[in-house]
Structure 1
């Protein structure tokens, strides 16, 4: 089993395990800590990450800033990519296309999905992320191109 997914399954079984896993992600990539993400679900090809609106994430119109939602999309896509990599494979973001679809307020969840990776595969794999508000309305979406390849 993928080590990231194994760690998730172990930690998420405990009351504060999801928060501990999420803090660990932010220790590995500190910029993600600016949005205080909390992973709610993680499986091969699928992740759900929650953030809460707060003043430090606001733009000039008092909604969550577009770049904070880009950060949410990238953390969700990065961790789902890591959890989905077969042994001996690696990934790195190659590009990101985003759309801002509505005012982002309250609790927001990023839903990341990607297809199965074939061991030894090389190329670009899209990871799609939708950010939804508490009502389930999509307020932002992104497609992150992940360059995948075997480790050297």
Structure 2
């Protein structure tokens, strides 16, 4: 069975401005992410891609995309990927994030989130490492994150 989030994504992709509408809906549900004005460009089980434009509100004092904006983009794409990939009856929450800043982040930033191990249904909770790479328009990786998600069964009762 397809995850509800993935069903919504596929439905909205058929509409004019569907990516924009889906991204806005996600930010309505999780308002903090609206601060980076993300655009989700691909969502499927095991993969999420998104981008943020180089705008003043995500720029630091040296003219590059701010480190926390990159962290927000990484957490958003990782969370959406996990949500779209989880078997029914499972839930997730981020437990931690390790980041590496590899180059100056200038221009539109593109994130790709993928799991490092298969996502499975389990009777007990487990750690799911998610890798996110953010690249600039030229394809240069400027940021990497490893986000540890805690995946567990939904508690009944």
Could you say which TM-score interval applies, normalised by the shorter chain? over 0.9
Superposed counterparts of 1:97-108, under 5 Å: 97-108=98-109
Superposed counterparts of 1:31-110, under 5 Å: 31-110=32-111
Q: What TM-score comes out, normalization by structure 1 length?
A: 0.97
Deviations 1:62-115 (A, max 9, x none): 100100000000100111111111100000000000000111111111100014
For structure 2, which runs of at least 5 residues remain unmatched after alignment?
A: none
Q: What TM-score comes out, normalization by structure 2 length?
A: 0.94
Is the aligned partner of 1:129 residue 2:118?
A: no
Q: Which residue of 2 aligns with 1:120?
A: 122
For structure 1, which runs of at least 5 residues remain unmatched after alignment?
A: none
CA distance in 2, matches of 1:119, 1:101: 34
Moved over 2 A (4+): none
Tell me the secondary structure at the aligned position of residue 135 of structure 1: coil
CA contact (8 A) 1:84 1:116 kept: no
Query: How many aligned residue pairs are there?
Result: 152
* 1:143 pairs with one of 137, 141, 146: 146
How far 1:15 moved relative to its partner?
A: 2.0
